[in-house]
A and B are shown apart, each in its own frame.
Chain A
């Protein structure tokens, strides 16, 4: 009841102020009349009675003032009053308001957008039940780096481990779905039966994989993603139990995953089938290939440390009932890390660097706004002094200033959300292909809450210093301030703000500069082939008609011939893997003489058609290229790259040496030539060992090959014709990843480029903000010192001397800021060191260029105020008092 009355009375107080005020007034009047009447009744003359009452009880207005000062609505009313006043103030200075609001909108918007990307990727747990219990398990490769596990290792660990309740292995799978339209190559995964149980997400429709599905020659069953089910099958619940055609074979659909299911190991996967590997583990089978990603779910009471210790103990304790092969002996132990960490490891440095960069921008924006508010506070000093003289307390003045800054921040924040919305779209569009959990980047409740929190903190932060200045001032001095005689202590504060601004901008610009130089260095790296006018596409040779090696080879050869016949094609070739495309396909290699050694290292395998080197323009260093001689049944020939030649033979001649490569069957390869090194993974990575063999001389014919076409004109323009040429051979084969080599090259460095674009954008914003900040402070200080300058001029100071006076102030502040900033940049560059390539994080060129740039900007920003100061007319200034 009383809460209800509080509410209704309070609301009435807010909405019907005049009626409520009249009630109070009536009550007070009545009270005082009664008091007078009482005195009159005791015989006091009316005039005397009224005087007594006024003396003892106060005037009606005073009593009303006291009586009205009750209730929560009073506080709200006062706050609304502050707000209305603040709005009026802001409307009165539209230029100032616009600059502040835009600055804040940029800062808050950019920060919110970056946060929306960083939060789901780095901080939010993975979208599975009990995500902390999910681990990723890897083997150690020859170089001591983690590598994928083998099926044999997986089987042994499943049998022997106790701290994991579920384990699963997956490998990529790209089946082609042929429907009425063009064949569509899907991204999918082959998984062991327990995959979805390990993740903890069951299918929405139908059933999960059972162990009985996952055996050699088991049933052909698939589970579909919700997106694929909706896109290709019309979201029909009756799909479960029907068959779909993948790679010319029919698969029974047994389940559909729920719409929100996020598959962090392969975000674009839309179809899953059982792995169906043989448990008999023949040493030369695929079961011992390092190509499976392995995840495990820990038992609820087992931590990551326990899982790690247990698997390590198992790895170092081989048992006869679980035979191992030399290249999966687990002698170096196993790597057990949290799945979350593994999924985000590659992008973590870039994202953290971006978060740091955007916080710098936000910091600069705040410093700028604080500066502007301070300058405005100085102009309004007379107003505040007047209010204080009329009885406004310090708290009241502080509240007014804070209301204004929070209001500014709120408007800036609201606009900032629009900026963030656009920013998130740009981020997703620009994001490098390897960015995990892109789907989770959006503006949601968490992000809005973050934006709100940032806005509030900023509102208070940027208002705090001006509020302190406004309420502190000496009344007497301030009221006389019409003459602007006093240049206050706020000069120091504002100087400090400029120093901070220059320092922050320098940190950001140095980071951006280092990244820019890295990208420049990177693209100057020789990829080992000529990327210009080179069109690439991946062709699939799948389906029942292409079931044999011979049939696949025939299809690929015919397709290649058709492409070669196209006008505008100067050369064309096929390769099993394409440089800088994300392909990664290596096999164990060793000299025939060292066959018995357990030390196995791997080399990249390129199964190519003879004209590959010529098409790619990869130089031949010695020996001969692969040619028409190297067919099935002929002596096996191999080309090795310089890196491998150097590692295996040092100064000896490798030509004619026998070499074991890949599965241990048949005769060894003979090295017939040495080629130049080619960058496979990334321009930034050291040369990797590589071996080229002719397609018919490899142990099998791959069913996915990349076509490379050297063109006379624009490479991209040839794509439709090339596609038609291939389809003229077999129209059921999917063609994907059509791209020019130039674009692949650019994309291979997408992470760095992404970071660079953001840093450049932020750096530019920081530069503009710093310039306006320096300008704002100097022009403010010049107009405050007009009188002083006038006096100097009157006393004979030359224009040059006055110019120097102002410029010296600018340069002192900038110089101090740079000193602080250089220290900051020195520390901050440590954070982006993994993104750098070929430049030291202390690269003097970058630091020098940034210092020069900032100095130039500082000089330009101080030029206008200095010029104005030099033109001060002493007669006018001095008379102005």
Chain B
């Protein structure tokens, strides 16, 4: 595969969405673009998966959603991190860091 971008690692999409939203409320494309930008194009987000993830997170009470009118008077759905979402993000971040560090150590030891 010569395409340098990859799909988001299975299971981390939720965390990335939560992280992105911890900065400010955003709509769907904004979140996708932010993930791509910050990962410097490593992660490419599929809109279908993203929208499904929004529904899941919203139903789990981690996100709040709100319809707003955009400048071009279009209906756009904005997502906000809820209190539960913020807690989940902290837990996920700690967990991820711990795992990543462990994997990194293992890889180093082998090399």
**A interface residue numbers (CB < 8 A to B):** 1-2, 5-6, 9-10, 23-24, 26-28, 30-35, 38, 57-58, 62-63, 65-67, 69-71
Contacts and interface: CB of A to CB of B under 8 A. Distances in A.
Nearest to B76: A30
B99 interface: no
B10 interface: no
A386 B32 CA distance: 39
Contacts of A34: 27-30, 33
A70 to B, nearest CB: 5
Contacts of A35: 29
A66 B70 CA distance: 25
Given A26-B77, A38-B29, A66-B51, 9 more contacts: A5-B58, A30-B74, A30-B75, A31-B47, A34-B29, A57-B47, A63-B47, A67-B51, A71-B59
A9 B54 CA distance: 13
B87 interface: no
Interface residues of B, number: 25
A21 to B, nearest CB: 13
B47 A2 contact: no
A104 to B, nearest CB: 40
B61 interface: yes
A5 B61 contact: yes
B61 to A, nearest CB: 4
Given A66-B49, A66-B52, A67-B52, A31 B59 contact: no
9 contacts: A2-B59, A5-B58, A27-B77, A30-B75, A34-B29, A57-B46, A58-B47, A66-B51, A66-B52
B28 A27 contact: yes
Contacts of B55: 9, 67, 70-71
Contact of B61 (A1, A32, A33, A69): A1
A26 B47 CA distance: 13
Nearest to B57: A2
A383 to B, nearest CB: 30
Which of B49, B55, B84 is the most central at the interface, judged by chain A CB atoms within 10 Å of its CB?
A: B55
Nearest to B84: A1
B52 A69 contact: yes
B51 A28 contact: yes
Interface string B63-83: 000010010001111000000
A5 B52 CA distance: 15
A30 B77 contact: yes
Interface of B: 27-30, 32-33, 46-49, 51-52, 55-56, 58-61, 67, 70, 74-77, 84
Contacts of A31: 27-29, 32, 47, 51
A10 B56 CA distance: 11
A28 B77 contact: no
A10 B55 CA distance: 11
B33 A30 contact: no
Contacts of A1: 61, 84
A62 B48 contact: yes
B60 A26 contact: no
A858 B60 CA distance: 63
> Which A-B residue pairs are the 9 nearest by beta carbons?
A66-B48, A34-B29, A67-B51, A2-B61, A2-B60, A31-B29, A1-B61, A31-B28, A70-B52
A163 B67 CA distance: 79
A27 B51 contact: yes
A793 B52 CA distance: 62
A278 to B, nearest CB: 82
Nearest to B75: A26
Contacts of B28: 27, 30-31, 34
A26 B74 CA distance: 9
B48 A30 contact: no
Contacts of A27: 28, 51, 76-77
B59 A67 contact: no
Nearest to A62: B48
Contacts of B77: 23, 26-27, 30
Contacts of A57: 46-47
Contacts of A26: 74-77
A17 to B, nearest CB: 15
A63 B48 contact: yes
A834 to B, nearest CB: 63
